[in-house]
A = this chain, B = another copy of it.
Amino acid sequence: MVATTELIYQRPESFTDVHTHYCPGCTHGVAHRLIAEVLDEMGLRENTIGVAPVGCSVFAYRYFKMDFVEAAHGRAPAMATGIKRVLPNNTVFTYQGDGDLASIGMAEIMHAAARGENISVIFINNAIYGMTGGQMAPTTLPGMKTTSSPLGRDVELAGYPIRMSEIISNLDGAGYVVRRSLHNPANIRKAKKAIRLAFETQQRGLGFSMVELLSSCPTNWKLSAQEALDFIAEKMVPVFPLGDYKVHPTLESLKV
């Protein structure tokens, strides 16, 4: 009897060979990996144009082996619209944090969805502003301490967390809007499937697609990488329920 060696997993094609600047254990990296894997599987790398945000993922373009542009803070959906309208046959996606998408970029994301722009949005919800050093985000949990809510978010003064997936699912232009989490293997697998469906939505011209991903920020949460994942499971999921908020009928039939 001979034995053959099977390659179970290797680094995706759509990645460059660059060491990322993300903090150890930050699940921005997982989100990146899933996007790269999906684009590999769909064979879209050479057709794709990514739009990087301003946020910790500002350098995303260093890590993906594909054309990329760098948007102004919050404006990625507008920039993606500008691109997609003149290059309708390209795959265009934005990658945005919660400050970028839900705070300064609220108008742009809402209207991109309302217009039914055929773009895919990967929305990283880590309940905080990572890049600038841990200020409050619109998604920050009530009572959560940040550098701009030092006593914990006081909902009376600073308001309540915004649930973007629920809100955007109200817009008729949206074809696929779901929330997933990156805190363990099972959820990571579900997240990947969702990202696949988002790009399938775009491929089929079914309108705007967004995958909201609950993601960790060990550094600004001041937790270890693993503790941060537990924080997602225990603290974030209850406030941001995982689930499908809008799924275009055509997609339901789809097997991926």
Contacts and interface: CB of A to CB of B under 8 A. Distances in A.
Interface of A: 103-107, 110-111, 114-116, 138, 155-156, 158-163, 166-167, 170-173
Nearest to A172: B160
A115, A116, A159: which has the most chain B beta carbons within 10 Å? A159
Contact of A170 (B116, B156, B167): B167
**Which 4 A-B residue pairings sit nearest by Cβ, starting from the closest?**
A115-B159, A160-B172, A106-B107, A107-B107
7 contacts: A104-B107, A110-B162, A115-B159, A116-B159, A116-B160, A159-B172, A163-B170
Contacts of A116: 155-156, 159-160
Contact of A167 (B103, B115, B138, B167): B167
Contact of A114 (B114, B162, B166): B162
Which residue among A105, A114, A161 has the maximum number of chain B CB atoms within 10 Å of its CB? A114
A159 B119 CA distance: 14
Nearest to A138: B114
Contacts of A104: 107
A160 B171 contact: yes
B170 A114 contact: no
A116 B156 CA distance: 7
A114 B160 contact: yes
Contacts of A105: 107
A89 B105 CA distance: 31
Nearest to A208: B159
Nearest to A105: B107
A185 to B, nearest CB: 31
Contacts of A173: 155, 159-160
Contacts of A162: 110, 114, 171
A111 B106 contact: yes
Nearest to A156: B116
Nearest to A112: B159
Contacts of A167: 110, 167, 170-171
B170 A111 contact: no
A135 B106 CA distance: 23
A170 B172 contact: no
Contacts of A110: 106, 110, 162, 167
A236 B163 CA distance: 28
A174 to B, nearest CB: 9
B115 A158 contact: yes
